[in-house]
Amino acid sequence: MSLMTRLRTEIERLRRRSAAQLLGDYTAPALEHTQELLEELDGAVEPGTAGEWATFTSQISAALRLQGADQFLRLAPIAKTLHSRQRSAGRRYLAYLLASSRFAPSIHRALTESPIGKPLVNPYYPLSSPLLVQHAYHLVRLLEHTDFELAGARRIVEFGGGYGSFYRLLRNLGYRERYLICDLPVMCALQRFYLRNLFPSDPGSRPPTNLQWLSSEVGAGLEREMSTDLRPSLFIATWSLSETPPAVRSEVAPVLGRFDYILCAYQRAFASYDNISYFASLEQALPQFSWHHAECPVFRNNFYLIGRKSTAAASPEPRAAGDPAVTAPLPLT
């Protein structure tokens, strides 16, 4: 790259960053239900509990009490983990969307961000935020590799729902059928707070009525959920199932074969867990699905496992994910 090209690139980067800072310097709307959020967070962790999530909960509570909730997406504990800037990846996500034939005008319109919580401004698309663009990318990848139609879906289960942004995207696209979020109590509290401010429903400005939560006994809860016949159904887990310990994965995996579509995103490894081997074995354990399993071209060393159940396939009892006998190399294409 020549010196002149590098200078132009740097000037463009600084221009976009300055524009994003100017556009992002707006007054956040006042939010309701803050006291209820704080009370939920206080009850989200048992007294004397230690560990990463207990620390995260206490950090969020402290930041909310000190700085208020109107700009909660800018608070350090949340901005670092749930609403990050994504830097250069944000540009690549947007470029991919604009080049995809499945990036319909309806999805483009649904990318318009809400000021609730004062989200970050995407410097490459100032009407949206980096995270919302990423979520549209997840959806487009699902549409590219399956025949999934949101308008026909009757049940969506999201394992790990962030602060509720993916639900928000699908609701903006018109989805009103059953939606279940499986998450830790601290995350469920944040999701309820965000979504009841964004989509208040009477009485009492409750969250949308099609939305339910599951925060304990996940395996049994998913078994109960899938005992009713609501199809087509979709299971979503983006960088969530891949960050859970084996005991939790073993609760979730036996239920996955009951869904019609699966959308998972994961990183190569998490702590001591080899996610490539795990998701390859999960793929092999569900032969009734047609799979797309490949590295993400936008976010290297991260991968998608996207599946559609074949209408002609039988539904055998799935083998345990992680069984060495069914582990296969992952195609990185």
Residues 118, 124: Cα–Cα separation, whole Å: 18
pLDDT of residue 120 exceeding 70? yes
Residue 101 has pLDDT above 90, yes or no: yes
pLDDT attached to residue 283: 98
Higher pLDDT: 110 or 83? It is: 110
- The helices-and-strands tally (H runs, E runs) of the chain is 12, 9
pLDDT number for residue 53: 77
For residue 330, is pLDDT > 90?
no
Cβ neighbours, 10 Å, residue 177: 16
Q: Residue 127 pLDDT > 50, yes or no? A: yes
Considering the chain, what is the average pLDDT of its residues? 88
pLDDT digits (tens, 9 = 90+) for 9-24: 677 666 666 656 656 6
Long-range contacts, stretch 166-172, CB < 8 angstroms, 24+ apart: 166/135, 166/138, 166/236, 166/238, 167/191, 167/195, 167/211, 168/114, 168/132, 168/194, 168/195, 168/198, 168/199, 169/110, 169/132, 169/135, 169/136, 169/139, 170/139, 171/199, 171/208, 172/109, 172/110, 172/112
Instruction: Evaluate if residue 102 carries a pLDDT over 50.
Output: yes
Domain ranges of the chain: 29-129, 131-326
Q: What is the pLDDT of residue 202?
A: 67
CATH fold for the domain made of 131-326: Rossmann fold (3.40.50)
Amino acid type, 66: L
Q: Is the pLDDT of residue 322 over 50?
A: no
**Axis-axis angle for helices 185-198, 165-172 (nearest 10):** 30
The percentage of the chain sitting over the pLDDT mark of 70, rounded to a whole number, equals: 86
Q: What pLDDT, on the 0 to 100 scale, is given for residue 20?
A: 60
Q: Is 16 exposed, middle or buried (0-12, 13-18, 19+ CB in 10 A)?
A: middle
Q: What is the pLDDT of residues 56-94, one digit of tens each?
A: 889 999 999 999 999 999 999 999 889 887 777 888 999
| In the predicted structure, residue 328 carries a pLDDT above the cut 50 | no
- Which of 78-82, 266-270, 292-296 has the weakest average pLDDT? 78-82
pTM above 0.85, yes or no: yes
